[in-house]
Each structure stands twice: as C-alpha cells, then as structure tokens.
Amino acid sequence: MAHNAMATEYDVLDDLWYPHLFNRLHAGILHGLPPKAGVALDAGCGTGFQSMLLAMAGYAVTGVDLADELLKQAREKASDPIFAQGEPVPLFSTNDGTAQREMDAISRQAAAMRREPVIPPVFRVGDIGDPSLYPLESQDAVVCCGSVLSFVDDPEKVVALMASTLKKGGLLFLEVEQRLNADILWPFVDILIGGRLGYGQDFKTAWRNLVTPPGCDLHLDFPFEMKNGSKLSLPMRLFSLPALETMLAINGLQMREKMGVHVLTNLLPSTILHRPGAGRFLRVVFGFLAWLEKFCAHKRFFSAFGCSCFYVLEKT
Ligand SMILES: C[S@@+](CC[C@H](N)C(=O)[O-])C[C@H]1O[C@@H](n2cnc3c(N)ncnc32)[C@H](O)[C@@H]1O
C-alpha cells in the first residue's frame, strides 16, 4: 500500500497546502454536524484526522484503512491520555502559526460540542470496497475525506455502500479531488520554464488533461515528494463534479453544503505550495488568498472550481 510510505511524516504538515486543506475540511465537518452525536464510520481514515475530530465531538467512530502503518499512528493518537481525558488534542503538527491557531480552535470547538465522555475511535485494517464494513442503515455519519475516493478502483460502488450504511437523515462528509482547477494549466507553464515547478508532465499529458471533456474524470499520476527526497507516484482520479453529483443523487444523497478548497490558493502552483519551508513573500500571498477563499468557497460559482470539493450530504 503506497500510503504506508508516508506513515512517519503524514502528521507533520510543514508546507502551506495541506494545513489549509485539512482546516477547511475539519471546519466544514464541524459546521455540518448535528448537535446530537452518534455512530460514525471514517472510510479511508489514514492516521485518523477525521476519526479523532469526530471522537472529540462525541461520536463513536470506527476508522478503516488499507494502510496498516498509518493505522499504527492513528491508534497511538487515540491512546493519548490527554485525549482519553476529553481534552482537545492537535490533529496534526504544522509550522504555520495561522494554520496552527485555526487547528487548535477547531479541536476546542469539537471538544466543546461533546456531552458525554470521549470514546476513543477503533481502527481496523480493511478495504473500503468491502461490503461487510457497511451494515445497513447503521451509521449517523460517514466521513470520506483526504481524497480517499480518488484512490479507490470503483468509486461508484464505495459511494453506494456509504449511502447504504447511513441511517435516514444521516450525513456523508465527502471530499474529492476535482478536475476543474488551475493545476490543469500550470503544467504548460512548467514545460515552458524547463520543469522548475515540478509537475513532471509532458506536453501530451498536459494537453490530454486539458481537452478531456468536462463530464469525464481525469486519471493521472500525482507526483508526491517525501521529506527524505524520495518520490512517490500516486495514481489518482480527478472527478468531474456534474458526473459525481449525479451518482450521489442516484444513491439518495441530497446535497446540503458544497465548498471548494484550493480555489483561489491554486492561483499559485500547487507543487510550490507542497514544498516545505515557504519563504515570507509566498506565505503572505498564500495567506491572503486563503483568507479570501474562506469568504467565497461556498458560493455556487466558486465551489465548482478548486483542487478539492467538499460536500455535506444527507441520506434521504
Ligand atoms: C490521503 S489519505 C487520507 C487519509 C485521511 N482520511 C486524512 O484525511 O488524512 C488516503 C487514504 O485512503 C486510503 N485508501 C485508499 N484506498 C483504500 C481502500 N480501497 N480501502 C481503504 N483505504 C484506502 C489510503 O491508505 C490512505 O490512508
């Protein structure tokens, strides 16, 4: 499982891209949660960001993932005595002060929502395409965030299973990588300046991605650079939102919220924002775009763009 290679560094977010993404997702989840907690499934939980968030908010969470090394990290966090006492705990570590404060506020907000003692999440190795993980109409909430659906072979099947396991009125918090964003154009600039942006696409691939009809998903190899300099190439799907939304509706999932993430911040190349140790100028420009994005990412027009799209969906 390719994601296992990230186990030791997954929770250390010293770039600009990921702290912004996760803070937007986690704020969106808390905003969508009903006041009464219940039972939840975290499909593709990784090291447990969203499992821990939901547990802090009072949910009894089961996290499932294929990557056993990531689950080890998740179990370690869930056994932290501070967390067991019900105190808010950090979901990840970041050297970006603004993102750190935002994350701390999100953790505090989650812990303040809880009425009962905290229940540590249970983490299991499993394939989220396995129907036995989804007892019929048993969950109050399902979370599938962190681009999980982009990595599975059969997203239609996984969406149908997630819908089937929700109780009527239950909520699915879903985030997907989507294809309509500035990252479809940046590879052309990259080619012109000799690959210095690090997209690693040749002209043929960049052109194919640009001209693929808007209703079709894109499939690409995402270049991921580890902190030790080694490179991973993760095959992933970038969703066409109209096609995805049809699939969600067919499964009885009604859209309550839709939010774009990395809509305006992607006016800067994502490959640069993924690099650790951003300089002051980049931080200032990114901070301004990230701030502006919070005000417009829910607007219908903006939410159709961006690198990720986050949905709150209700099972009808
Ligand atoms: C980018 S991580 C996101 C993890 C977590 N949800 C988060 O937001 O940090 C994507 C996760 O999906 C998991 N994954 C991919 N395909 C899977 C599958 N078929 N079944 C279970 N987990 C899967 C990977 O192991 C990885 O942990």
Q: What's the pLDDT tens digit per position in 103-141?
A: 999 999 999 999 999 999 999 999 999 999 999 999 999
The closest-lying atom of ligand 1 relative to the alpha carbon of residue 70 is 27
For residue 160, give both structure tokens.
């149908």
What predicted TM-score, i.e. pTM, was given to this entire model?
0.96
Q: Count Cβ atoms below 10 Å from residue 72 Cβ, excluding itself.
A: 13
Q: What's residue 214's pLDDT? A: 86
pLDDT beyond 90 at 2: no
Ligand 1 pocket by Cβ (under 6 Å): 1, 3, 44-46, 49-50, 64-67, 70, 127-129, 145-148, 151-152
d(CA 49, CA 270): 22
Q: Is residue 6 within 8 Å of 226, Cβ to Cβ?
A: yes
Of 1, 42, 66, the one to substitute when testing ligand 1's pocket (max ligand atoms within 8 A of C-beta) is 66
What separation in Å is there between the alpha carbon of 19 and the centre of ligand 1?
A: 17
Of 151, 226, 234, the one to substitute when testing ligand 1's pocket (max ligand atoms within 8 A of C-beta) is 151
Whole-angstrom CA distances from 161 to 13, 64, 123, 205 are: 31, 14, 19, 33
User: Which domains are delineated in the chain?
Assistant: 2-180+237-315 (3.40.50.150)
d(CA 103, CA 21): 11
Whole-angstrom CA distances from 51 to 47, 100, 215, 267, 309 are: 9, 19, 32, 31, 20
Q: What's the pLDDT tens digit per position in 237-266?
A: 999 999 999 999 999 999 999 999 999 999
Q: What's the pLDDT tens digit per position in 9-48?
A: 899 999 999 999 999 999 999 999 998 999 999 999 999 9
Q: What's the pLDDT tens digit per position in 59-81?
A: 999 999 999 999 999 999 999 99
Count Cα atoms within 13 angstroms, Cβ side, for 7. 17
What separation in Å is there between the alpha carbon of 1 and the centre of ligand 1?
A: 10
d(CA 287, CA 20): 9
What are the contacts of 246-249 at 24+ separation with CB within 8 A? 247/155, 247/156, 247/159, 248/159, 248/174, 248/311, 248/313
What separation in Å is there between the alpha carbon of 64 and the centre of ligand 1?
A: 8
* Alpha-carbon torsion angle 283, 284, 290, 291, nearest 10: 140
